Structure 1
Amino acid sequence: MRVFRKMSRYIMQTDVLDSQFTVLEMMILAANLKLGKELNLKQKLEVIDEILGMLRLKDTLNTMAQKLSGGERKRLCIALELVNNPPVIFLDEPTTGLDDLSSSQCIALLKVLAAGGRTVICSIHTPSAKIFEMLDAVYVLAEGQCVYQGKGSNIVPFLKNFGLCCPITYNPADFIIEVACLEYGGSYHEPMVEAVGNGKVARWSPPAVEGETTTTKTDTTSGASSFYERDQFDEEISPKLLEAKCSWWLQYKLLLVRMLIQMWRDKSYIKLKFYMNIVLALLVGSLYFGMGTSASKALFNFGFMFTIVIAYLYLPMMPVLLYFPTEINLLKREYNNQWYRLSSYYAAMVTSKLPSMFILAVIYLSIVYLMSSQPLEWFRFAMLFTIAFVTALTSDSFGLLISSRLSLVNAMFMGPVLAVPLILLSIYGIGYGGGTYISPLMRFLMHLSYLRHSMEGLVASLYDYGRADTICEDTEIFCSFKKSKVLLAFLGFENMHYLWSLSCLMSFYLLFTVAAYFMIRLRLKHSEVSPIFAYVIQLLTKYFNFTSYNY
């Protein structure tokens, strides 16, 4: 089975394509990933030109995928999988969403591929008479059992053996589907299944002697061998076919470049994130303007640090919850069709986010840091930036962990809901002094929230390491928070350590990142869900009216 999976390709019913690339760019990427360094660029372009010519896609070389017609998108999906010439191709309803002409052209192209030595297997619900004539072999299923297997032209005499006469104006495919759906009664189902041995008979053929009412069965072993020619499949497959043509490092580089190009070409999203960070930074900076050096407003400055935590919880997490559940379909198609290793894709996805997140963090934190009049010391800004940036990375991984197993709607619901206890635990016990009133259990739960470590790291970056006394206004009679140690003792942060907080944040980031990888791997492998996880989902679905769980 492992061998068969590696040599077969599956084309989904929905045309899952990357809308940010042209036909030629997608074909070149597929060639680089599937052929590796076996061929040079000129040879790869020759292969691409031959495939696109056969599928009549040469006129769309520089057309973006989102501008292709339905038939062109379907043909492009087939072309992408033909790059390394797979011997077996599965297609799920290739004619869905196409008109009669496009459907006929699509099946005709598949027949050309089959004539070239490949095995093409399609599932089609309602083929037209013209399409039906093109099929070399037909396999009809009803209620999980095979009711016919053989040539399409033999369907009418096959049904006639059971007293079912196909009207002359009927399409034989429509007629046998109606019979399979029990529209002519349920008495025909079992005899039809027995006649073809529930699919064990290689193919049904009309009786050799005219007038004979019994069906003839071919030998289940020799017939299957002659009809499918699969009995020596493993011996005919070269071991080189199963080897990855592309190294892990080359896959990583190709996928990283693709993801960076995707981000760069999505101009509207880039502008939205850029302007959103600037507007939010100006809003926060105006609310906490000049409070960083004021002793009387030290608690407000603590609120300023809390806004950084909230911003770097939701800004990185929400786009992931919205984006990844839709990206999983493209990942399924490419990963299951042996384009690349999951580890190389995941590493490229994680790495591709770093440049944009770093730039946006520099813009946001520089504005709020200066407007709030925080200490003008480079090492403090660097410490604050490091904590905030790692918090953003952790929130991104946390969102990826949630969306790796849930559908879009469920992920958008669960993300903000799970964020609430993390926020509450991050500031629990503030104002309790040394924390003598906090139970050991609550102290343990507080440190299970990565936002708590983020808060401690931000406070340490601004008020620890020899922070100078803050300024007391002349109107202040009693200036209690002039000394930073007094403020830290009041907040309950006097025993914090910056490096410990940073280490805990990094640990949470690694934990979420690794956990998300294995959750995605489980989703792609179609493994059974853990009973505990399934029970939790069942409870949530029952009491919170969730949409159906999406594997």
Structure 2
Amino acid sequence: MSATLCNFEPSSLYSSLSNLKLMHTPNRVEPEFGHSTAFCAACTKIGGEQVEYYMGVDGAGGHIYTNGEPRDLRQFKRLSRYIMQEDLLQPYITVREAMAIAADLKLGASITAREKVVVVEEIMQLLRLDKAKDTTTERLSGGERKRLSIALELLNNPPVIFLDEPTTCPTTHNPADFIIEVSSGEYGSHADKMVAAIENGRCQSWRDYAVGSDTSQELELEQLNSGGVEKHNLKHGSTTCQQFHILLRRMLLQTLRNKAYLWLRVCLHLFLGLIIGLLFCNMGYDASKTIFNFGFCYACIIAMLYIPMMPVLLEFPREVQLMKREYFNRWYGLKAYYAALVVSRTPATIFFSLIYLALTYPITSQPLELPRILMFTTICITVALISESMGTAISSILSVVNSVFLGPALSVPLMLLAVYGFGDGDLPPPIIWKLARSCSYLRYGMEGLVAAIYGGRKEDLVCPEDKDFCEMKNISNFVKLLGMSGVSFWFDFGVLVVILLLMNFLGYYLLRQRLSPNYAYRSIKIIGNFIKAKMSMSHQ
């Protein structure tokens, strides 16, 4: 493979790559090194999947050939594997488990389970990971993490591998230490002469003096170089259903092993359940505190909004970085990953919501009728699932800082619109506010909870003996005052289900745009980067 780069603007960050020629021959490990690690990373990315960025901005241009033929970028990206400088590994699984899961995804049913075990053991022994095979990834040393990153990509024997900083030793500790010292100017200023001598990488005469090459090796390399691009299987090693099953198993295993996070969520739901339950204690049947019971419904909706959403905003941006490495290296498809992500989160969200409701519902003396309990629980769980999906959609395209800011900021108008117009009775609101109110899924959640508690009840609420008069004793009058006399539980529940599906589709679409952006998304990103650059310059 050869690459020729030209026309980088002098002011560009990568102007040092102008008129640079890179050439790599088959069956060899060939390094690209320099005094700056950023230079090495840029050269590596030129051949990897990020070539579109370098060839599309800053006035960059050039040509890349594979075996003397113009490279098919889409095909080459599917054939090549890129191991980043950062050792991003899936947490809470051991080395053996990580290798086994990767083998199932990358090899699929092409070989038997016994053969997969043999391949995994051979690679672990080759990269000296056999002694750490029962160690979880977060406890590995720096060198072990780097070797595991390489081992995971060797399972299906890819034809091209790009390694960014593959060693953990100091950059200047290498056999060419003298060349580095000369290039750094320790023996005088000879950098310009050296660049001119090698013609900025275009000179290939040094290959004629390779040490240790024999005739058979040279003949084999000539045969490889003279042929066309070797055909490889460009599809994933496993089917979509197999990918979904494997990823779901991995995600559930990671969730169960993250005990600190699980106990934190359990304690949080217990704490909030007790606090909210005691604040609204015995108000469900008290006619003198009917408005406060409506406040209890609102508190439940707010709890189902923030508790499921905030952990996703904090954790998912990091998960996206892990997923990008596996996705670009052809481990699995995005559909299988996103489906497994949604399914793996659902049991935990339902379980924690039930903990909260198991405390608040009886303490506040809500109707102990099974249909009403099921309706109340169903609405709360559905709202929690929508909030979690909303957090996924936000954090799929933003960093942790921006996600944590934007998530609560978008929640405020949803909360305000959820209770807009309550107390006006059947007086219709302005059409613009009616449309805005219909955009808040919390509004449908509030209507569903009110319908679950008060819908279809004929008897009046109990007025305490120490009260002379209870204005909200009649349930029909109270529901009419709220403007909910015509609400239907099943309509609100159906709308919430539709919103849940749309929110999951939005999260999938935004994540897909982040991985493979279209022209509209790229344009928006370029405009955002331009505005950010101008703002930073104005601050300076």
Question: TM over 0.5, yes or no?
Answer: yes
Q: Give distance in 1, aligned partners of 2:536 and 2:174.
A: 48
**Whole-Å separation in 1 of the counterparts to 2:458 and 2:182:** 85
Confirm or deny that 1:232 pairs with 2:302.
no
**Aligned counterparts of 1:468 and 1:227: Cα–Cα separation in 2:** 92
Q: Residue 99 of structure 1: which of 164, 169, 181 is its match? A: 169
Residue 475 of structure 1 aligns to a residue in which SS?
A: coil
Query: How many Å separate the matches in 2 of 1:440 and 1:191?
Result: 73
Residue 122 of structure 1 corresponds to none
Give the 3-state SS of the residue equivalent to 2:106 in structure 1.
Answer: helix
Distance in structure 2 (CA, Å) of the matches to 1:51 and 1:227: 29
Q: Are 2:323 and 1:324 aligned?
A: no
Q: Corresponding residue for 1:111?
A: none
Q: 2:397 aligns with which of 402, 405, 419?
A: 405
1:382 aligns to what? 374
Task: Please report how far the alpha carbon of residue 484 of structure 1 lies from its aligned counterpart in structure 2 after TM superposition.
Answer: 1.4
Q: Residues 505-528 of structure 1: CA distance to partner in whole angstroms, max 9, x if unpaired?
A: 112211111111111111122555
CA distance in 2, matches of 1:371, 1:207: 85
Give the Å deviation of 1:357.
1.2
Where do residues 93-242 of structure 1 align in structure 2 (5 Å cutoff)?
A: 93-95=165-167, 98-99=168-169, 126-130=171-175, 132=176, 171-176=178-183, 184=189, 191=196, 196=199, 201=202, 203-205=204-206, 229-230=224-225, 232-234=227-229, 236-238=230-232, 241-242=233-234
- Structure 2 residue aligned with 1:213: none
Shift of residue 127 of structure 1? Answer: 4.4
Match of residue 104 from structure 1: none
For 2:282 and 2:308, how far apart are their aligned partners in 1? 27
2:17 match: none
- The alpha-carbon deviation at position 54 of structure 1 amounts to 1.2
- Indicate the residue corresponding to 1:333 in structure 2: 325
Q: CA RMSD in A?
A: 2.9
Could you tell me which residue of structure 2 aligns to residue 468 of structure 1? 459
Q: Contact 2:183 / 2:191 at 8 angstroms: preserved in 1? A: no
Residue 439 of structure 2 corresponds to 448
Rate the CA distance shift 1:36–1:226 in 2: closer, same or farther, 3 A: closer
The Cα shift of 1:434 comes to 1.5
Given the alignment of the two structures, is residue 511 of structure 1 paired with residue 506 of structure 2, yes or no? no
1:207, distance to aligned residue in structure 2 (A): 11
Deviation at 1:185, TM superposition (A): 9.1
> Do residues 499 (structure 1) and 490 (structure 2) align?
yes
Give the Å deviation of 1:172. 0.8
Q: Deviations over 1:95-141 (max 9, x none)?
A: 3xx235xxxxxxxxxxxxxxxxxxxxxxxxx44332x4xxxxxxxxx
Superposition deviation, residue 275 in structure 1: 1.3
Amino acid in the other structure paired with 2:390:
F
Residues 1:498 and 1:176: Cα distance change in structure 2 (over 3 Å): same
Give yes or no for the alignment of 1:78 onto 2:155.
no
* Alpha-carbon separation, structure 2, partners of 1:9 and 1:55: 18
Going from structure 1 to structure 2, the CA distance change for 1:410 and 1:356 (only over 3 Å counts) comes to same
Q: Is the 8 A contact 1:202 1:227 kept in 2?
A: no
Change (3 A) 1:483 1:28: same
Q: Could you tell me which of 286, 303, 307 is aligned with 1:311?
A: 303
CA distance in 2, matches of 1:280, 1:9: 47
Change (3 A) 1:176 1:302: same
Gaps of 5+ in 2: 1-72, 210-217
Q: Check conservation: 2:313, 2:400, Cα contact below 8 A.
A: yes
Partners of 2:526 and 2:292 in 1: how far apart?
44
CA contact (8 A) 1:321 1:400 kept: yes
Q: Structure 2: how far apart are the matches of 1:205 and 1:404?
A: 47
- Check conservation: 1:129, 1:171, Cα contact below 8 A: no
Match of 1:283 among 257, 267, 275: 275
Contact in 2 for aligned 1:252/1:344 (Cα 8 Å)? yes
Q: Is the 8 A contact 1:316 1:395 kept in 2?
A: yes
Q: What TM-score, normalized to structure 1?
A: 0.77
CA distance in 2, matches of 1:288, 1:539: 48
Q: Is the 8 A contact 2:237 2:331 kept in 1?
A: no
Partner AA of 1:501 in structure 2: D
| 3-state SS, counterpart of residue 287 of structure 2 | coil
Q: Does 1:262 align with 2:260?
A: no
The TM-score with structure 2 as length reference comes to 0.78
CA distance in 2, matches of 1:544, 1:388: 43
Contact kept, 8 Å, 2:182 with 2:190, in 1: the verdict is no
Provide the C-alpha distance between the structure 1 equivalents of 2:532 and 2:438, rounded to a whole number of angstroms.
26
- Which 10-residue stretch deviates more, 295-304 or 64-73? 64-73
**Aligned to 2:158, what secondary structure does the other structure show?**
coil
DSSP-derived class of the 2:162 partner: strand
Deviation at 1:244, TM superposition (A): 2.4
Aligned AA (2:264): L
C-alpha spacing 1:365/1:505, structure 2 compared with 1 (3 Å): same
Determine whether 1:521 maps to 2:509.
no
CA gap of 1:398–1:544, structure 2 versus 1, over 3 A, is farther
**CA 1:494–1:185 in 2, change beyond 3 Å: closer, same or farther?**
farther
Structure 1 residues 47 and 347: CA distance shift in structure 2, 3 A: same
Identity of aligned residues (%): 39
CA distance in 2, matches of 1:523, 1:261: 27
Q: Distance in 2 between matches of 1:191 and 1:508?
A: 63
Q: 1:87 to 1:531 in 2, by over 3 A?
A: closer
- Structure 1 letter corresponding to 2:158: P
SS of match in other structure, 1:59: helix
**Aligned CA distance change for structure 1 residues 541 and 514 (closer, same or farther; 3 Å):** farther
Can you give the 5+ residue segments of structure 1 that lack an aligned partner in the other structure?
Answer: 101-125, 133-169, 209-222, 546-551
Q: Is the 8 A contact 1:20 1:265 kept in 2?
A: yes
Name the aligned partner's letter for residue 129 of structure 1. N
Q: Which moved more, 1:379-388 or 1:498-507?
A: 498-507
